[in-house]
Structure 1
Amino acid sequence: MSFLGKWLILFGFILILLGLIFVFMDKIPFLGKLPGDIRIERKNFIFYFPLTTSILLSLILTIIINIILRLRK
């Protein structure tokens, strides 16, 4: 049961972080407006795909996770 409790606490912490990110996402000026983000606007249609932002966030998260895993060993 101790193992399940630790996972539930971790999952809750991750949900809180995601919630904070969504609340303050508009305050980050460059997020979603980088060169390479695809935005197509038509009369009744808007398509938006943040390609560069996704790659940048993936790279940052990979570095953070690798640092955390190396410190745990």
Structure 2
Amino acid sequence: MTEFPKVLMIIGGVLLIIGIFMQFIGKLPGDIVFKKGNTTIFFPIVTCIVISIVLSLVFSFFGRFK
């Protein structure tokens, strides 16, 4: 039971870092934006790829300690 608070703090820290990271990379080159009239459609393709790579590295790092 003593591991649970540590896991929660790690998850919170990771979410904080991801939140800060998202503030700066919200619109990377390669993200697709369609604007027509009052409608805007945003497809964050490159942002999703970057997030996927970062999360894969984080989970791979934490998976090594198991």
TM-score (norm 2): 0.67
Could you tell me which runs of 5 or more consecutive residues in structure 1 were left unpaired when the two chains were aligned: none
Q: Once superposed, which parts of structure 1, at least 4 consecutive aligned residues long, lie more than 4 Å away? A: 19-22
Q: Deviations over 1:10-36 (max 9, x none)?
A: 4576357536754x443x2xx122121
Query: Which of the residues 30, 38, 42 maps onto 1:36?
Result: 30
Higher relative contact order (CA 8 A, sep 6+): 2
How well do the aligned residues superpose, as a CA RMSD in angstroms? 2.5
Q: Higher Cα Rg: structure 1 or 2?
A: 1
Structure 2 unaligned residues grouped into runs of 5+? none
Q: Of Structure 1 and Structure 2, which has the larger fraction of its residues in strand?
A: 2
Summarize the Cα distance change of 1:55–1:18 in structure 2 as closer, same or farther, 3 Å threshold: same
The 3 A distance-change label for structure 1 pair 36 and 58 is same
Paired residue total = 64
Instruction: State the identity %.
Output: 32
